[in-house]
Structure 1
Amino acid sequence: MTTINTTIDAVTAPDAEARAHDESTTADGRTITAQQLSAGRRAHELDRAHVFHSWQAQGPFDPMTVVAAEGPYIWDGEGRKLLDMSSQLVNANIGHQHPKVVAAIQEQAASLCTIAPQYVNDARSEAARLIAELTPGDLDHVFFTNGGADANEHAIRMARLHTGRTKVLSAYRSYHGGTQLAVNVTGDPRRFANDYSAEGIVHFMPAYQYRSYFGATTEEEETQRALQHLEDMITLEGPSNIAALILETVPGTAGIYAPPAGYLEGVRELTARHGIVFIADEVMAGFGRTGRWFAVDHWDVQPDLLTFAKGVNSGYVPLGGVAISDAIFETFRDRVYPGGLTYSGHPLACAAAVATITAMDEEGMIDNADRLGRDVIGPALEEMAQRHPSIGDVRGMGCFWAIELVKNRATREPLAAYGGSSPEMNRVIAAMKAGGVLPFANFNRIHVVPPLNTPDADVRFGLEVLDDALRIADEYVS
């Protein structure tokens, strides 16, 4: 089985010099001790004996051990310090071990570790208030889940019950989660092995200008043709049969390709015209990743439902949710909603969310993400594209960027085929790790997605390592 997310491939074996280092000093003077390294080796042994990993063929997989993390850095099982330019799975938005969030979890654990979801708890109530204040329009009601996949599952369930319809429209080149419905809604190869064509999902072609499915040569053409395609799909599938359209505002693992001008507004108009619930999947793009609290804020579009997870509490404790409009809330005012979770609104997770949102606000992380994208990451990647013929496209915003690596700019032949990796990509990734950077890679792309509060100097270091590694990609350009 091909590894989809090469971020979690094993780190290549360190050289002898790196092995000789038993300690690595952290920013506050702490060290990675021989005892920690020994514990890490034991953890690796137990992992290989007992842990079944996601999205992997279990036999050949040799996962990297992490023994410590702080700010934008992690330390691996050999004691090497790596800049986390992946934010793990693009969820550690405020970095690792933020003291305010760690303290909030500790304080909550001391007072109330867990309580069933039918009871009120102050952490959940406050988290819901803060989220409702940040979401656009009248998305003032929050249903908490354990993560993004079940948030999308519940959003679709709400839409179906609200409309009395069944079908759901979803774009190809998308990812919405690994549970049964969510993975069928997904539009990338991770769906293939789990697709039984029985979930009422209809996929449509996305607006993706670099590899346009519509022969578009300009942004305006891409928008117009993609919207016409979507309108045709709605007509051919029968508007009265379609409960919802779910769309990642800015697709994440599918390629960080923002919608062309006018596209998102056009989707909102089409769904409103036909009474189709518009679900904005902001699981990865939300909570500051694009330089706004939510990516929809860039286009001033209000969905009917908005799903979130990951950045809501920087992944410190599992949490996701659905922000619900007044109209859909009213459907369930006097009608039982047939769904729930034992850990919905878990106190530890919600306390972490309150602390995360508060820290992001007080420390200006949203504006900082916008500035990093505009002044540091974007210009550096654009400059690299002028020097590296292996870069076919650069795109992104905030701390959410991707470069597509190609063998030929004219033909746009990817450095790794859609749905897999390649020896060429593996060499680039290994070079970045050897240079001290943990990257996020998928298919033929490198994603530049550091924590939103990463210091400029560290971001520039990560970009310099990427720049150097791209010399390997250039070797394969024809």
Structure 2
Amino acid sequence: MGSWMKELAELHAKHVLTPWSVQKRASGPMIVRGEGSFLYDSEGNRYLDLSAGLVAVNLGHGKEQVVQAIQQQAARLCYASPAFFHDQRALLAQGLSQSAPWPEGARTFFTTGGAEANEDAIKMARMITGRQKVLAFYRSFHGSTSGAGTLTGEFRRFAGEPGIPGVVHFWGPYLYRSPFFSENEAEESDRALRHLDLVLLHEDPTRVAAIVLEPVVGSNGVLVPPKGYLARVRELCNRHGILLVFDEVMTGFGRLGASFGAIRLGTTPDMITFAKGVTSAYVPLGGVLVREGLAATFDAKPLWCGHTYSGHPLAVAAGMGALIAYRDEGLFDRARLIEEWLWRGLRNLEKESPLIGEVRGLGAFFGLELVRDRETREPLSLWHKPLSPEILWLQQQLLGRGVYAFFKHNVMLIAPPLTITEEELQDGLEQLGETLRRLWEEPSFHLGRI
């Protein structure tokens, strides 16, 4: 590393607080450029972005349509109050409505990210229903702000506790580590639904405003719901007058092989929250898609939601550029092809590596559950603690081989850009396979000393 870049790295370590990290352990390459499926550091090293950043850069890096949309908007107008109407905001909202699962259409309330979107969805649900309680999975992440952090069902919520009132968590289906001791998907679905029904009974469903779910649980394991589970949750909501909100911050914009996961999974919610892929993460933008029948509620009563940067001109212009790219290149559907490549490649890795307990996924969104022992299913990193030395070793070894991947707990998230080629993906999986082989053969691993 050159002296100037070394100085910059030292300045970063000295002055920047890195999210979710013990600061003395925080380190990484100095990324200065991105192109297609790759990131480049200050020394010219190239890294295949096998997790699309944080499951966000769906279009890959440097997509021309999005960059030009940002440049053109910056030359015209960088900011105007959300109280004013704006051309790109209107066009993007129309495009989102056309991409949504409701024949009646939808309206969008824009935010700067997913956490704000989830908090605003809660507020809207409470305003619409006049109820207060909200249910969410234990294994979930909905953001780290006060309200979204309370919705979150894993340890990242602890620092924000006690949080907002009225949020109740329940267990969702997860057959590999079933909280219901199920032996197959049908059993897991039935038992999970009976559990939810019981929780509703004891919370009084007439007091519940909404159930908020990730249609495929994201950073907490890439948990694809058993067939029929979401549809039956929808039936429960209909029976009790509860609104169903899908948090599609990760699953939206082609990640599962459709514009939204709700469409691929065949279950229609009442609201969809989004962020990340809406601009391919080029500019921060999020929002709440509200089906028209509910959005009309606010034609006669105030919508008590607002942000300085709601529908920011640069952000919505980026979103419009991204939407055009998704449609022109057929990228909402391309994840179905990537899904075929991933099943083939990851199943081969599973046969070769004793460290892989389970492969699961949908579209271009897969998780590798890593274990010390396939029989006991002991995780390679505990869910309630920071990443284990073994997972940190894997991360660093992969970076050394030119591959970036996002790990959460003992699960590696494989969610490449939707523009990745089969050759690029195959090369990344080969590097992953070699790294897993080296870890398994490392004597210090079996002695617990890595």
TM-score, length basis structure 1: 0.90
Quick one: distance in 2 between partners of 1:266 and 1:39? 58
Partner of 2:75: 110
Partner of 2:11: 46
Partner of 1:469: 435
1:218 has 2:153 as partner: no
Shift of 1:470: 1.1
Partner of 2:376: 411
State the SS of the aligned residue for 1:355: helix
Partner of 2:239: 273
Quick one: distance in 2 between partners of 1:372 and 1:172? 29
CA contact (8 A) 2:106 2:295 kept: no
1:95-134 mapped onto 2 (5 Å cutoff): 95-134=60-99
Partner of 1:282: 248
Q: What is the aligned residue count?
A: 442
Quick one: distance in 2 between partners of 1:281 and 1:105? 26
Query: Which shifted more, 125-134 or 44-53?
Result: 44-53
Quick one: distance in 2 between partners of 1:328 and 1:40? 52
1:152 has 2:134 as partner: no
Letter in 2 for 1:262: G
Q: Deviations over 1:364-410 (max 9, x none)?
A: 22222210112x11111011111211110000122111110111112
Partner of 2:165: 199
1:78 has 2:43 as partner: yes
Shift of 1:198: 4.2
Q: Deviations over 1:42-82 (max 9, x none)?
A: 43233223222222233442343111111111112332111
Quick one: distance in 1 between partners of 2:92 and 2:65? 15
Letter in 1 for 2:437: R
State the SS of the aligned residue for 2:162: coil
Quick one: distance in 2 between partners of 1:115 and 1:190? 35
Quick one: distance in 2 between partners of 1:135 and 1:219? 28
State the SS of the aligned residue for 2:299: coil
State the SS of the aligned residue for 2:39: strand
Shift of 1:199: 2.4
Shift of 1:38: 5.6
Q: Deviations over 1:196-229 (max 9, x none)?
A: 1542110000111111110110110011000010
Shift of 1:447: 1.2
Q: Deviations over 1:393-452 (max 9, x none)?
A: 000122111110111112110011113311222222222111110111111111111100
State the SS of the aligned residue for 1:343: coil
* Cα distance change on mapping 1:469 and 1:341 into 2, 3 Å: same
| Residue from 324, 337, 350 that aligns with 1:358 | 324
* Cα distance change on mapping 1:364 and 1:108 into 2, 3 Å: same
Letter in 2 for 1:264: L
Gaps of 5+ in 1: 1-18, 20-36
Query: Which shifted more, 239-248 or 68-77?
Result: 68-77
Quick one: distance in 1 between partners of 2:131 and 2:28? 44
Partner of 2:302: 336
Letter in 1 for 2:377: R
* Cα distance change on mapping 1:174 and 1:357 into 2, 3 Å: same
Quick one: distance in 2 between partners of 1:274 and 1:39? 62
CA contact (8 A) 2:146 2:164 kept: no
CA contact (8 A) 1:406 1:477 kept: no
State the SS of the aligned residue for 1:169: strand
RMSD: 1.5
* Cα distance change on mapping 1:467 and 1:63 into 2, 3 Å: closer
Quick one: distance in 2 between partners of 1:440 and 1:77? 21
Partner of 2:109: 143
1:235 has 2:201 as partner: yes
CA contact (8 A) 1:40 1:67 kept: no
1:327-406 mapped onto 2 (5 Å cutoff): 327-374=293-340, 376-406=341-371
State the SS of the aligned residue for 2:357: strand
Partner of 1:61: 26
Query: Which shifted more, 224-233 or 440-449?
Result: 440-449
Letter in 1 for 2:228: G
Quick one: distance in 2 between partners of 1:61 and 1:434? 16
CA contact (8 A) 1:416 1:443 kept: yes
CA contact (8 A) 1:108 1:347 kept: yes
* Cα distance change on mapping 1:38 and 1:71 into 2, 3 Å: farther
Quick one: distance in 2 between partners of 1:318 and 1:61? 24
Quick one: distance in 1 between partners of 2:265 and 2:13? 46
Shift of 1:354: 0.8
Query: Which shifted more, 80-89 or 151-160?
Result: 80-89
Gaps of 5+ in 2: none
Q: Deviations over 1:274-293 (max 9, x none)?
A: 11111000001100011111
Quick one: distance in 2 between partners of 1:358 and 1:465? 34
State the SS of the aligned residue for 2:172: coil
Quick one: distance in 2 between partners of 1:78 and 1:177? 33
1:176 has 2:142 as partner: yes
